[in-house]
Amino acid sequence: MTPHIPNGAEHEVVVTGIGLVAGQLTDPEALFDHLAEGRTLITEHPLHKEWGVPCAVSAHIDPQVWQALADAAPEEAGPLGPAGVLAWHAAAQAWERSGLPRRLDTERGGVFLACNRMVMEPAELTWLAAHVDHEAGALDLDGYLEHLDGPAASDADGGLDPQRYEKIQPDSATAALADYFGAAGVLETHADACAAGGMAIGSAYRYIRSGTLDVALAGGAESLTTLTAVTAFYGVGALAPAEGRDPARISRPFDKDRSGFVIGDGAAFLVLESRAHAEARGARILAEVAGYAGVTEAVKMTSSSRDGSDYAECIRAALADAGLAPEDIDHVNAHGTSTEANDTCEAAALHTVFGARAATLPITGNKSAMGHSLANSGAAEAVLSVLSLERQTLLPTLNFAEPDEVTGGLDIVTERRPARVTAVLSNSFGFGGQNCSLILAEAG
């Protein structure tokens, strides 16, 4: 029997499953409770301290947690790198919670993974340098690859993993997930900097809303608390220096004393479905993806227009896509990186879009407690926004004490707050002018 479908319902996009891993926590509810209690995931990173990195704190995945997740991955997953292991756990968790069958085996399912491409670490660069002819300005790539495949590559004394290249390619995890769940109708791997997680969810949403797909697994994974990545971000002035401070107090979104972001790792996934598909199988609907906008601009590699106009354009486009007005938004899950430039741009945009109402519109900056996991951050914040809708509870922004002249006049939530929440605006604004806004709403 074909279920009755209300007019237009086949094009509504709903969330039926969520999964997440962060710090020592391996499920979304545990993270939500942890953050609601005002606790942090940001701690000293022992290797960073050993390396002498000036910002030796991060929201990294506990090594024992990572190993347990790696051990739990099925053989069918194939070779997975650090980010792939995290992606696998969060995706499988979201899929299981959705109640979907183990395999879809239909071209009307897809996988949308956000993960920035990994950079080479010192050992790899050393091996690569050995095959460079500096006088000729040439690289003996064949020799390098043969070296990787040779006996030395598997030596226990520091040799490189011959499967390293495959493991660190984000596309490998995308393909493995699609094959495992039988959802290979559309495969996308997003590397849109810090907006990638939101972009992946937004792309999946558009495929479902257009009627091309029924189901999508969408989210992000990142594992960049590495020497090369940390050094690079510190070099461009984006990371907050630790300077002997309490790790829990370093990330300070919208606060006048903010000094940069704290890098983190993690993974988060949502299962998206058309409402018709979800209702036909009797699925529990957690929330609705009501609107999305992805806007690119090229003001500066590390900053957008300080008047907030680029971010405001993105927010307004998401509202228009959802058919909502600014007054319909009850909560903002801010990008809130704790960098001077980003918080200034976002605060200005919120003042521009919401006007006087910005003073009473609750705003949360999750990165104050869980760091900035780059491509994964938008996905993780979307998961937390779903839980805020379910629990009618707003999470606190840690370490916000005093605003500056631009961040002033905003209602920054500093303690867990019960609230009536029907629609959440979740922002992700990345390096290189990659801007994204998602609107998540009550299931209805």
Question: Are 271 and 15 in contact, with CB atoms under 8 Å apart?
Answer: yes
Q: Tokens 């064949």 belong to which residue? A: 142
CA nearest to 261, candidates 58, 73, 425: 58
DSSP per-residue letters across 149-207? HSGGGG-TTTPPPTTHHHHH-HHHHHHHHHHHHT--SEEEEE--GGGHHHHHHHHHHHH
CA–CA separation, 67 and 1 (whole Å): 46
**Nearest to 413, CA basis, from 38, 22, 31, 28:** 38
Residue ranges with strand state E in 74-131: 109-114
CB 332 within 8 A of CB 363: yes
Cβ-based burial of 105 (10 A; exposed 0-12, middle 13-18, buried ≥19): exposed
Catalytic residue, chosen from 190, 345, 372, 436, is 372
| Distance, CA of 183 to CA of 325 (rounded, Å) | 35
Q: Are strands 287-296 and 266-274 parallel, antiparallel or unpaired?
A: unpaired
* 3-state DSSP assignment of residue 70: helix
Residue 372 annotated to the active site: yes
Q: Characterize the bridge pairing of strands 109-114 and 411-412.
A: unpaired
> To which residue do tokens 């995706």 refer?
91
Q: Which one of 335, 345, 351, 436 is the catalytic residue?
A: 335
CA dist 170 and 191 (Å) reads 9
3-state secondary structure of 405: coil
d(CA 338, CA 353): 21
Q: Are strands 393-394 and 13-21 parallel, antiparallel or unpaired?
A: unpaired
Residue 213 burial (10 A CB sphere; 0-12, 13-18, 19+): buried
Ranges of CATH 3.40.47.10 domains, the chain: 11-117+169-441
Task: Select from 180, 172, 29 the least CA-distant residue to 113.
Answer: 172
* Separation of alpha carbons 7 and 442, rounded Å: 19
CA–CA dist 381, 1 (Å, integer): 38
8-state DSSP, 301 = T
Determine the pLDDT at residue 187. 97
Q: Residue 52: what pLDDT?
A: 83
Burial label for 411, CB within 10 Å (0-12, 13-18, 19+), is middle
Residue with tokens 């003996």: 140
Q: Residue 15, class by beta-carbon neighbours within 10 Å (0-12 exposed, 13-18 middle, 19+ buried)? A: buried
Structure token digits, residue 152: 């030395």
What pLDDT, on the 0 to 100 scale, is given for residue 211?
A: 95
335 catalytically annotated? yes
Q: What is the pLDDT of residue 159?
A: 54
| Predicted local distance difference test score (pLDDT) of residue 46 | 83
Q: Which of 34, 45, 48, 194 is catalytic?
A: 194
SS3 assignment, position 42: coil
Model-level pTM? 0.91
Three-class DSSP labels, 201-215 = HHHHHHHHHCCCCCE
The dihedral of CA 409, 415, 418, 424: what is its sign?
positive
Question: Average pLDDT for consecutive 10-residue bins of the chain (444 residues)?
Answer: 39 96 97 98 89 88 94 91 94 98 95 85 73 84 68 46 72 94 96 94 97 97 90 88 91 96 97 97 98 84 75 97 98 96 95 97 98 97 98 98 96 98 96 89 92
What does the pLDDT read at residue 135?
83
Distance CA 54, CA 259 (A): 13
115 is catalytic: no
Architecture of the structural domain at 11-117+169-441? 3-Layer(aba) Sandwich (3.40)
